[in-house]
Amino acid sequence: MTDASRPEARNPRGFVDRRARDLAAERAILASVSAVYERYGFELLETPAFEYADALGKFLPDADRPNEGVFALQDDPDIDSGQWLALRYDLTAPLARFAAQNWTTLPKPFRRYAFGLVWRDEKPGPGRYREFVQCDADTVGSARPEADAEIIAMAAEGLVAAGAPEGAAILKINSRKLLNGLMTAAGVVEEGQKLAVLRAVDKLDRLGEGGVRRLLGEGRLDESGAFTKGAGLTADAAERVLAFTRAGAGRGETLDRLANVIGGSAEGDEGLAELAAIEAALTSLGLGPDRAVFDPSVVRGLEYYTGAVFEAELLLETKDERGQAVRFGSVGGGGRYDDLVARFTGERTPATGFSFGVSRLAAALRAAGRDPAGEVRGPVVVIAFDQRRMADYFAVAAELRAAGIAAEVYLGSSGMKAQMKYADRRLAPAAVIIGEDEFAAGTATVKDLDLGRSLSAGVADNAAWRAERPGQLTVPRAALVGAIRKILEARA
């Protein structure tokens, strides 16, 4: 094989390799959150990675090749006439298909949670990947606002279980019906104009009232000279929209202020009544306004949702690897979507749910100094001191493993110094050294690598350090397991 014919070792764009630390963090989050969801009575469901493309719906254009936004392939022409299959882009669309397919046999309402990889064929960017893990919880078949409240309370409890202390995350709640009532009050009836209003309000944090006011009106010229066409509202209508966003983040008092802005609209009044029911349920569930608030500036996703919508924001101070402040913003969201199952059945089926990106939440918690995985440890390393004694070293590793202790025998060909460096890079808690002297005496030397790491920071004299051999002890061979256990318990 010539150099020119060798493939370049590289990741596909938007896909990343994840080592033990990242995977351990995700597993810890999923285990903690799953326990919360099951305590609320939600059933675990797993659906296939692939769905028929027409079942996914969202992202799919009307084209001969339905692969925009998703990764798709065409099945064998002899099977189902060569229908297109696509990797799922979220966990909700497969749930809608499953619910429609099995509705007659499901308990109603159907409460399920799910987690797994999803794929999106979108332009990758910083923190934006084409493959990532999502975790969802949904209730299908209940139109009661209390179903939304329970999802919100469960999401808040799940974030605490994942590693965000109580009060370190907040659920912001709004309603599509309130926005529709606002549109009616502002005289906005055309769908494109409604969408332009929602997009303008969504930029409130970044552009402030002045920038949003221009986007609600004729448009805005940014610093680069690019012009964004506005929603074309009158000055009075734009002011009504801004007054809506100024209602503030709270609970009962926010509803009173919103009623003054959109009261009189039938859909707006319906939305206010639903939020009032959510407020009562949240109070009964013990979720105070420090953990869940009504925030009329939350508009993301309202093209998709039909009622209440909610977004989880992490309030912890977060820093990147260089110690610079970084803002993660939303770490999850959800809401009520009553039209999704109807794509299959033709009948409106109420549903509500919450979803968060597991990798994103893990990264946010780590940036806040709260790594969900804690310290990822390697195995105890049995040093291959004498190549003629490999069978004996494997017997030592087998004994440790039988006692429930992760262990490995060094299988390289390097000397003692390199083996100790290997054990250190594996973050091994200890190394076991058994040479001819130890074999003859029926002993084993144990090197406490954790203690060595902690003490090495204050070393001033390397010669004295080597002479003292801190953290190194020799024990009877029969006492090896007990000695290792003490080291592990001391770091637990």
Q: What is the pLDDT of residues 288-320, one digit of tens each?
A: 999 999 998 888 766 678 999 999 998 888 877
* pTM, entire model: 0.85
Average the pLDDT over 171-188 and give the result. Answer: 89
428, pLDDT greater than 90: yes
- Predicted confidence at residue 147, as pLDDT, reads 98
Lowest mean pLDDT across 125-129, 184-188, 354-358, 477-481: 125-129
Lowest mean pLDDT across 92-101, 169-178, 214-223, 311-320: 311-320
204, pLDDT greater than 90: no
Pseudo-torsion of CA 294, 299, 301, 307, nearest 10°? 50
| C-alpha span between 289 and 208 (Å, rounded) | 24
Structural domains of the chain, ranges and CATH numbers in brackets: 20-367 (3.30.930.10), 380-491 (3.40.50.800)
Regarding predicted confidence, which is higher, 358 or 127?
358
- Residue pair 296/247 in contact by the 8 Å Cβ criterion: yes
The reply to whether omega before 109 is within 30° of 0 (cis) is yes
Q: pLDDT tens for residues 363-416?
A: 889 888 888 887 778 999 999 999 999 999 999 999 999 999 999 999 999 999
- Residue pair 431/483 in contact by the 8 Å Cβ criterion: no
- Predicted confidence at residue 465, as pLDDT, reads 42
- Predicted confidence at residue 323, as pLDDT, reads 74
% of the chain beyond a pLDDT of 70: 91
Q: Mean pLDDT highest for which of 64-73, 155-164, 191-200, 462-471?
A: 155-164
Task: Count how many Cα atoms sit within 13 Å of the Cα of residue 270 in the half-sphere of its side chain.
Answer: 13
Lowest mean pLDDT across 127-136, 149-158, 247-256: 247-256
% of the chain beyond a pLDDT of 90: 56
Mean pLDDT of the chain: 88
* Burial of 481 (C-beta count, 10 Å sphere; 0-12/13-18/19+): middle
- Predicted confidence at residue 69, as pLDDT, reads 81
Q: pLDDT tens for residues 222-251?
A: 888 888 999 999 999 899 889 888 887 678
| C-alpha span between 151 and 322 (Å, rounded) | 36
Task: Count how many Cα atoms sit within 13 Å of the Cα of residue 31 in the half-sphere of its side chain.
Answer: 8
Q: pLDDT tens for residues 429-449?
A: 999 999 999 999 999 999 999
pLDDT grade, residue 84 (50/70/90)? confident
The long-range contacts involving 26-30, CB below 8 angstroms and separated by at least 24 positions, are 26/133, 26/358, 26/359, 26/362, 26/372, 27/373, 28/163, 28/372, 28/373, 28/374, 29/135, 29/162, 29/163, 29/358, 29/361, 29/362, 29/372, 30/115, 30/133, 30/135, 30/358
pLDDT grade, residue 80 (50/70/90)? low
Residue 8 is classified by DSSP as P
Q: Give the residue ranges of DSSP H helices in 78-175.
A: 92-102, 145-162
- Predicted confidence at residue 61, as pLDDT, reads 44
- Predicted confidence at residue 62, as pLDDT, reads 42
Q: Distances in Å between the alpha carbon of 100 and those of 92, 140, 341, 348, 367? A: 12, 10, 6, 11, 41
Regarding predicted confidence, which is higher, 11 or 375?
11
Q: pLDDT tens for residues 34-59?
A: 999 999 999 999 999 999 988 887 55
